[in-house]
Amino acid sequence: MGPGPSDVSPRVLEAMARPTIGHLDPAFQTLMDEIKDLLRYAFKTENKLTFPVSAPGSAGMETCFVNLIEKGDKVIVCVNGVFGTRMVENVVRCGGEAVIIEDEWGTPVSVEKVKDALVKNPDAKILAFVAAETSTGVASDVKKLCELAREHDCLTIVDAVTSLGGSELDVDGWGIDAIYSGSQKCLSCPPGISPVSFNERAIAKIKNRETPVQSWFMDLNLVMGYWDGAGGRSYHHTAPVNAMYALHESLLILKEEGLENSWKRHRDMSAKLRAGFEEMGIKYLVDPAYALPQLNTIIIPDHITDEAAIRTKLLNDHNLEIGAGLGALAGKVWRVGLMGHSACEENVSKCLAAFKAVMN
């Protein structure tokens, strides 16, 4: 019950154990098409360019940045946690100019600050931000931020690594141009795959680049020769076949439950967890108005002098893994995940009972 990876469904584990076939096998190509359709359902999009990158969420992030940024491009980057800082690093490595908007860790991205930055930087090409900041447990107003970006003719790059499947996300309805996620959070799939989606505005930017994409492996002009299949698939890389089996099964499970039902389950389980922690006198870092249900950040009580020892005891005595604080929150908070298959009443009860035992 940490910030990911989450528990994996037995169905997904069973799917991984199926025989490995060739990555150009007709049966696998059929699976690829089904995965793309299921990802469109999960993202709530009709984007043709929707597929899983054969690498973890960080590679999905890099895929968005290296394809959309050219040297000298000005990019407004919102930083309210660890993963916003990684966006800044990507902009710099792509040769772009990062305009950084900072908000206090534990609070959402400020819409007013973004509006001000867009006005002051009319030449900005992209607005990048994290929808659900895994380091703090905060949700930002994705719809409003995308509306602002479009008003100022900016593309958006959105980090949805912790969002997808666990809290409301509407790529087409909110006007998101480029988005990336990960397989190991609310999809409850083993880590190693990064779903991404690009709309026509983003594709136009990629096709009209003046310079080649700096990464061969992540160059969408090449990758889609394998994933598109409209004119026959060409070899690009050896896809992780068994990992794709797992992703396919996890997306089937999500569709069977229904997106809205999954979002509600995460909210309900988070409410039960919060009530239990508050009963113990444990406080949350994030205001309930913008707290993520799938990532619950709790403040370490003042009397705890060795927070690592508590986490070790939870793991060794109760077989319960939680996450430590990152960056500015290291040593100040614990991060308790309720993601995908892990978001169930049994886990909530086990977690609260283990905390009561260890805190005593």
The answer to whether 164 and 186 are in contact (CB under 8 A) is yes
Confidence of residue 204 (pLDDT cuts 50, 70, 90): very high
- pLDDT averaged over every residue in the chain: 96
**Helix, strand or coil, per DSSP, at residue 124:** coil
Tally: H helices and E strands in the chain: 13, 12
**pLDDT value of residue 89:** 98
User: CA dihedral in degrees (205, 247, 54, 37; nearest 10)?
Assistant: -30
> How far apart are the C-alpha atoms of 43 and 23, rounded to whole Å?
25
Burial class (CB in 10 A: 0-12, 13-18, 19+), 50: buried
User: Domains of the chain: which residue ranges?
Assistant: 10-255, 258-359
**pLDDT value of residue 68:** 98
* pLDDT reading at 308 higher than 70: yes
Whole-angstrom CA distances from 294 to 53, 177, 218, 297, 314 are 23, 24, 29, 10, 20
From the options 3.40.50.2300, 3.40.640.10, 3.40.50.2000, 3.30.910.10, give the CATH code of 10-255.
3.40.640.10
Confidence of residue 86 (pLDDT cuts 50, 70, 90): very high
> How far apart are the C-alpha atoms of 316 and 339, rounded to whole Å?
22
Residues 127-138: pLDDT tens digits? 999 999 999 999
Confidence of residue 184 (pLDDT cuts 50, 70, 90): very high
Q: What class, spelled out in words, does domain 258-359 have in CATH? A: alpha beta
* pLDDT reading at 100 higher than 90: yes
